Amino acid sequence: MRKFLASQHYGRPQAFAALLLLSFLAECLWLVAHMPASAVSADEFARVQQGLDQWHGRGIAGTEASAQLSAHRLPAPPLSPHNDWLHPRLDPYDPDHSPLWYLIESAPVFVFGAAPNSAAWVWLTRMPYILFGALLGASVWYVSRRLYGNAGGYIALTLYCFSPAVIRASTLWFSQPNIAGAWGTFGAVFTAIAVSHTLYAPREAFLLFAAYFFHPGLFLQGLTHAKPLVASGRAFVMSGAYLQMIKEVAASGPVLAWLAPLSLITYFFWRRARYFGNTAPLLVALLFLTWRVAGPHDPESVFSLAGVVFLFVFITGIAADLRETKSAELVTAVLIGLVAANAIWNLIGLSRIAL
């Protein structure tokens, strides 16, 4: 790993990417600093408490015993008529998430300690997901830069860093902690592509899987109680399911309303754009967005977020191809204008939160 890090060159592209990621961190910290009490749901209090119970050796989070144990120590949620946007799940066994779902958010509280309903508790519970958001942004930049060059990396990372949906997911602003799943999915897809093609995976790099421990009995128990992918074929004939998916994608920034359709049109009518580097992220994005349509009743689905992240990479690939045409200067000017306008729109929206 030391040899791999020493072989990397750090210059202007890396410095510009770091500046964008710092701006992303600043946006997230601003949002957490102005987070209302209603953004912390009763479900989140239960999730953190079960994680703390496991950290203290009092059962496995997400099981019936842990749910009953933590129920006696749950703090009262902040008094607000709007903090019931999510309710504690009624099923004592969580079929959707592993114990890691509970351990991540509760880890900083376990290490540093903080009273529930306090400002320190809110900050500590958000820090892991802000970190995951920054790591996903770095992954988006790295992959896009390797596929489409420096300009591609800048476009993809700027779209990512100024996406309201990404910032909201990274700070748990009335949102479930789906950013970790999106990062893991993005890494798994492009790691698989890199390994299968041996083009973008240096031999010195290792894929590290972090977990609190591996226990065969717990693993088999999790598989036994796991819930399969919930999908409804009837959803594909419901216009509301498509409108909901489009609304969630549009929440990632108004620029997507222009760039996504234009990128799709370019891809299907321009043969040069139909190569593996563009096709792979498009197919994965369509797969996740299709899953979102098939499960419209889940109010907080990771599929929309994951689909949008891959959509950023696809749009970047089409933009990079257009920049290699005779109209490169015009394309570059339009891209700079759209991306900058999207960033300004997002910053204005963040500033209004403090008003």
Per-residue pLDDT for 205 more than 50?
A: no
pLDDT confidence tier of residue 147, bands split at 50, 70 and 90: very high
Provide CB contacts within 8 A for 123, sequence distance 6+. Answer: 32
Q: How far apart are the first and last CA of the chain?
A: 47
The pLDDT tens digits for 116-136 are 878 899 999 999 999 999 999
Report how far residue 330's alpha carbon sits from residue 315's, in angstroms, rounded to the nearest whole number.
Answer: 17
The identity of residue 260, as a single letter, is A
pLDDT of residue 46: 84
31-35, 208-212, 231-235: range with highest mean pLDDT: 31-35
Per-residue pLDDT for 299 more than 70?
A: no
Cα dihedral 238, 243, 249, 251 in deg (nearest 10):
-140
Report how far residue 260's alpha carbon sits from residue 249's, in angstroms, rounded to the nearest whole number.
Answer: 10
Percent of the chain with pLDDT over 90: 43
Is residue 157 within 8 A of residue 144, CB to CB? The reply is: yes
Token pair 């015993």: residue: 65
pLDDT of residue 301: 78
Per-residue pLDDT for 215 more than 60?
A: no
Report how far residue 139's alpha carbon sits from residue 191's, in angstroms, rounded to the nearest whole number.
Answer: 11
- Check: pTM over 0.95? Answer yes or no: no
- List the Cα angle 272/278/283 in 5-degree steps: 125
Q: Who has greater pLDDT, 75 or 178?
A: 178
Per-residue pLDDT for 330 more than 80?
A: yes
**Choice among 150-154, 229-233, 295-299 with the minimum mean pLDDT:** 229-233
pLDDT confidence tier of residue 244, bands split at 50, 70 and 90: confident
Q: Hey, where are the domains in the chain?
A: 17-36+132-202+232-353, 39-125
Per-residue pLDDT for 68 more than 70?
A: no
Report how far residue 81's alpha carbon sits from residue 322's, in angstroms, rounded to the nearest whole number.
Answer: 50
Beta strand extents in the chain (DSSP E only) = none
Per-residue pLDDT for 54 more than 70?
A: yes
pLDDT of residue 196: 66
pLDDT of residue 344: 94
Per-residue pLDDT for 264 more than 90?
A: yes
Q: Taking residues 7-36, what's their average pLDDT?
A: 88
The pLDDT tens digits for 82-95 are 444 444 454 556 76
pLDDT of residue 155: 95
Q: Who has greater pLDDT, 188 or 316?
A: 316
Percent of the chain with pLDDT over 70: 74
Per-residue pLDDT for 42 more than 90?
A: no
